[in-house]
Amino acid sequence: MFDNNWELINGGDAHDIEVLNQSSVANLIESLVRFLRHHDKTPGVECAICPDQGFLKELHRTGTLLLLAAPGSYRECEVYVKRRDGAIFAPPLPAEVPSHMNQLESRLKEMWGGTDAIGIAAYALWRINWVHPFKNGNGRTARAFAYACVCLKFGGMLPGSVTMIDLITTSRDEYEAALGHADATFALTGEPDMGPLNAYVDQLIRKQLLSALSGAEQPALEAANA
């Protein structure tokens, strides 16, 4: 999804840079999976090592290079998020961001060994979007980080010509509704109801895997756009 709120450049050239940066992000995800799998000495298919804030920041830096003045850095300003339904969400104040991100990292490490790829990815998607730790580019960074988590939990890069990241961009209403539900339940109870987002992520992973079957790429993409 293209953006027109960058600091350094906007318009057609900015959109071209976004595309080039996203190619670099895809390569970075695969590099991380290979790196952590190499250093993981535990038995089993899935990687036992959880990605950290350093990798999250590097994903953001790679994805927003030449677009933001300080790519890869947590924000030092307040931001507001306008949902597609018109609702306005106010993420935590900038001074609170490091603490929230430390909590996210700790929570993911606690969840990593006992939670499946769907639960890990859904929680990372929600929490990063809720904190909104960067000045811009939060959504794309959250999606890339969540996808990296999925691949690590599966033990390698998932097959498919259409990735989970691609599929989110073609079903944004459902995506934002699931995020909004988690936000609303978290505000009421202090704990998000991840049911809708878990179901959504499960659906995305299934579509990606189906797209790997011979001749299934186009039907999967058409289904995602339907």
% of residues, the chain, pLDDT over 70:
93
Q: Smallest Cα–Cα separation from 128: which of 66, 68, 63? A: 63
Q: What is the pLDDT of residues 195-223, one digit of tens each?
A: 999 999 999 999 999 999 855 445 544 54
Low-confidence ranges of the chain (pLDDT < 70): 1, 84, 214-226
Domain region containing 63:
12-225
CATH of the domain at 144: 1.10.3290.10
Q: Smallest Cα–Cα separation from 167: which of 128, 217, 108, 214? A: 217
Does a structural domain hold residue 170? yes
Instruction: Give the model's pLDDT for residue 5.
Output: 87
Whether the model pTM is above 0.95: no
Does a structural domain hold residue 2? no
**Residue 42 structure tokens:** 């535990």
Instruction: Give the model's pLDDT for residue 195.
Output: 98
Does a structural domain hold residue 7? no
Does a structural domain hold residue 6? no
Q: What is the pLDDT of residues 118-130, one digit of tens each?
A: 999 999 999 999 9
Does a structural domain hold residue 5? no
CB 130 within 8 A of CB 91: yes
Number of structural domains, the chain?
A: 1
Sign of CA dihedral 117, 63, 23, 58: negative
The CA distance from 19 to 40, in Å, is 32
Instruction: Give the model's pLDDT for residue 218.
Output: 52
Residue 88: its H or E element: strand 88-89
